[in-house]
Amino acid sequence: MFKLNENYLKLRGSYLFSTIAKKVASYSADNPDKELIRLGIGDVTRPLTPTVIHALHAAVDEMAAAETFRGYAPDLGYEFLRKAIAEHDFAGRGVSISPDEIFVSDGAKCDSGNIQEIFSADSKIAVCDPVYPVYVDTNVMAGRTGVFDETKEQWGDVIYMPCTAENNFTPALPEEVPDIIYLCSPNNPTGSALKKDALQQWVDYANKHGSVIIFDAAYEAYISEDDVPHSIYECTGAESCAIEIRSFSKNAGFTGVRLGYTVVPKALKASDGTALHSLWARRHGTKYNGAPYIQQRAGEAVYTKEGQEEVRALVSWYMENARLILDGLKEKGFEVSGGVNAPYIWLKTPNNMTSWEFFDYLLEKAGIVGTPGSGFGPSGEGYFRLTAFGSRENTVRAVERFKAL
């Protein structure tokens, strides 16, 4: 009889957003007349921009003629897109990343989940608490997290770095040195962002101790403050200790189109001198058959002058929602943060309610669906996440409902 991978059997509960979806579905079934406003999941709602639509159509048309038809994409990505990325996302910021250090993929979720595969099974990982659940769950799948401690609600072998109001939701350098450090800035779920000097400290720490940083910059486009780096490679020495993961989902609205990329610099080497670049290329080429040509042309269009203007307008549009939520909740007396460099607003639950108590309260009293902070880790207990990705109308109505609580 076949046996299952025991690591998978250790996974805790269901994925956070599936739990919320089930809870909301059951509430809606019991209350069919209640109209809900969903500010829970970090999914975009605005349509694709004209430049992207045009590029998608043009790429589909190319597929109609034998001369321009495309089959399998190069597994590491088309040169035209890798060049556009290197030029706009890196050279444009004074950072030298060459196109062949960029691995195009179908998004940041897969990359942030898969990248751990190339590291030793006994690697020690460090994550922020609260954390984007993918980082920990994929390391559970890899058998790297030890035994779950029910009292702490944490995995025994994982170094959790609390991100609380006291440290402005930014992690402190851990005393016990991890092999792999996951950093997400701007952060999901807290909406905080690491300033340049803080990120430089992480890079120095990783280089000093021989750790690798997996830097998730999926929300890079939302940065509005000058001293927040858009790429970890803006920090000195990052190319020898950091992998960066990016996405087209939240800037260009590609959550359903699917496109992202990961940077593995050639200078990043393991202690025996093996370049991670060649290992990741080997893994990527073996398990992945390349992001579709059509999507990659759409990604290229994002970097045109018009594409960039449209992305900026899209991001500003969502950030106006963030501003409305922040201002409205502050006016009502909520303790709120985030929403300045990220499309997430992190609020303290009132009257010492737990995150799930507030979830139920908000659903019942205001018909608003948000995300309980404790779902992202124990330090998220007593907090709640709202997203700025709703429609303007729903955002305004949600703020009114909050004010009427």
Q: Is position 188 an interface residue for ligand PLP (rule: CB under 6 A)?
A: yes
Candidate segments 27-35, 102-110, 284-292, 318-326, binder of ligand PLP by CB under 6 A: 102-110
Q: Which of 49, 51, 112, 116 binds ligand PLP (CB under 6 A)?
A: 112
Cβ-contact 113, 132 below 8 angstroms: no
Q: Confirm or reject binding of residue 296 to ligand PLP (CB under 6 A).
A: no
Q: Which residue has the tokens 């709120």?
A: 336
Residues 23 to 62: which contact ligand PLP by CB under 6 A? 42
Residues forming a β-bridge with 242: 213
Residues contacting ligand PLP: total by CB under 6 A = 14
109 lies in the binding site for ligand PLP (CB under 6 A)? yes
Dig out the tokens for 54 from the structure.
């045009």
> Which residue lies nearer to ligand PLP by CB, 83 or 258?
258
Query: Residue 24: enclosing H or E segment and its boundaries?
Result: helix 16-30
Residue 171 near ligand PLP by CB under 6 A: no
- The 189-228 site mask, x for binding ligand PLP (CB under 6 A), equals ---------------------------x-x----------
Q: Give the pair of three-digit tokens for residue 218.
A: 């999926």
Phi, psi of 117 (to 5 degrees): -60, -30
**CB 249 to ligand PLP: min, Å:** 3
Q: How far is the CB of 18 from ligand PLP (least distance, A)?
A: 14
- Contact segment (CB under 6 A) with ligand PLP among 91-99, 103-111, 320-328, 383-391 equals 103-111
What is the rounded end-to-end Cα distance, in angstroms, of the chain? 56
Residue closer to ligand PLP by CB (options 125, 366) is 125
DSSP characters for 295-315?
Answer: HHHHHHHHTSHHHHHHHHHHH
Q: Which listed residue (90, 103, 132, 383) binds ligand PLP by CB under 6 A?
A: 132
Closest CA to 296 of 7, 66, 74: 74
Number of CB atoms found within 10 A of residue 152's CB: 10
Centre a 10 Å sphere on the Cβ of residue 342 and count the other Cβ atoms it contains.
Answer: 32
Binder of ligand PLP out of 260, 307, 380, 390 (CB under 6 A)? 260
The nearer residue to ligand PLP, 137 or 328, going by C-beta atoms, is 137
Smallest distance from the beta carbon of 186 to ligand PLP, in angstroms? Answer: 9
The span from the CA of 10 to the CA of 77, in Å, is 35
**Of residues 49, 247, 262, 321, which one binds ligand PLP by CB under 6 A?**
247
The count of C-alpha atoms lying within 13 angstroms of the C-alpha of 249, restricted to the half-sphere facing its C-beta, is: 23
**What's the count of helices (H) and strands (E) in the chain, helices before strands?**
13, 15
Q: Which residue shows structure tokens 């609580």?
A: 405
What residues line the site for ligand PLP (CB under 6 A)?
42, 107-109, 112, 132, 184, 188, 216, 218, 247, 249, 255, 260
